[in-house]
Amino acid sequence: MRPPRPISRLLVANRGEIALRIVRTCERLGIEAVVAASEADLDSPAARRAGRVVRLGPAAAAESYLSVDAVVRAGLAARADAVHPGYGFLSENPALALACRAAGLTFVGPDPDHLARFGDKLEARQVAAAAGLPVLPGGEVTSAGEAEAMLEATGLPVLVKAVGGGGGRGMRLVTSAGELRHALELSVAEAGGAFGNPRVYLETYVSSGRHVEVQLLCDGERFLHVGERDCSVQRRYQKLVEEAPAPGLPEGLRDELLAAAVRLGRHLGYRSLGTVELLVDLDRERFYFLEVNARLQVEHPVTEAVTGLDLVAEQLYVAEGRPISHSQGDLVARGHAVECRINAEDPDDDFRPGPGTVERFAVPVGDGLRVDAAIEAGSPIPPYYDSLVAKCIACGPDRTAALDRLGGALDRFEVDGVPTTLGLHRRIVADPAFREGGVDTGWLGRFLAATPAGTPEGAGAHRAVAAGG
């Protein structure tokens, strides 16, 4: 265990709802928060709540939130003890962790070596296999000829995936041999442009798979899981709805995947929060390793709702060098929680982002409800960043109660001025197949195809979105 290094002033190197959420935990812990903001965010709710803001750079993310030098300079200018990168941006970049260490700043996250290993999806597969986790057939390909040869071994369908990717970018589904070369070209180009790394690999695609992830909390000596989440409702491989615990998992299979995630953390001597993402094939009652997100997850509130933990606080404690104070037996999920990511996007126009100005913003309140947002009437939705507007989380004693509460909350949620996914979320939460539980990662595509734009149901949902509910 490292010697304790208390954090009294924290630089929050992120924006939007996650920056505000970190600031609130700092207030509770008596830590002074300083928000590092781009020119577009200098008057954001997070900056105003913290009371101290350091200019990070221009609005463009590449010159602000994605600049290692800018973040380290901001941390030093603020005389901070530590830097919290939130999620996205530089949160999994080993260069930032190393630069913070060199500057005498504590990086709130895993060790640089672990970030580097999990940031390379192929190396992450190798680490997982060494820890005894099953991986899907596949491997790196450097030419169309290699890809065609591998396809003969793996069979169809397959995914072409970026080695350094994330967020669904650089990923293409191949369902016929004739699609392979074009999909490969597109993935290589997108991966090179998005991540500066054009390497790609093939991986067998499980069409009826569920996306289940395990939350880890580790301090290098104790390796605990904080239950699992289901994140199978996705569009373009990006999550829209998450819940904890995962519904309908056989208990034996649940125990196996929780144990496997802990085994991976112990294998590396991992420190901090981390999420082991798995693909569950319920038809065969098997699971496969997908990747590790070595950071705080967007969907962490559902885990907090069913466990009572503050995961940001736990992350800060580990960064300070404190031992985890919980035992595995303490971390028991009670009830059920579901989260909807409300994005400024138009579901009837292929989820096209809709930047603009929010004219009205009204959130539901009530028992068992939580809304994480950093938006208010008059807030801009800039074109430079992710389109997330808010997260609406509902919990209850069981899944049905949580969904009923969430449905009522979504009916009262209002956002005017920009298109949002609110109408789609209302339809999802009311859908019988979703309410039954256990939908797979292809379900949303089938659901949208059944009610396309222009049909009465689809058009009505679009009007509700445009009108803000």
Tell me which residues are annotated as active site. 295
Among candidates 94, 137, 469, 135, which has minimal Cα distance to 294?
A: 94
Whether 189 contacts 160, CB under 8 Å = no
Rg (CA), the chain: 21
| CA triple 76-81-83, angle to 5 deg | 75
User: Alpha-carbon distance 179 to 188, whole Å?
Assistant: 14
Helix (H) or strand (E) holding 120: none
Cβ-based neighbour number of residue 221 at 10 Å: 11
User: Alpha-carbon distance 29 to 346, whole Å?
Assistant: 39
CA dihedral 239, 244, 248, 250 (to 10 degrees): 110
Residue 178 DSSP symbol = G
Among candidates 9, 8, 63, 76, which has minimal Cα distance to 37?
A: 63
- Please report the DSSP string for 39-70 in residue order: GGGTTSHHHHHHS-EEEEE-SSGGGTTT-HHH
Residue 297: both structure tokens together:
């997850």
Among candidates 36, 20, 19, 108, which has minimal Cα distance to 71?
A: 36
154-to-137, 139, 158, 203, 234 alpha-carbon distances in Å = 6, 10, 8, 8, 25
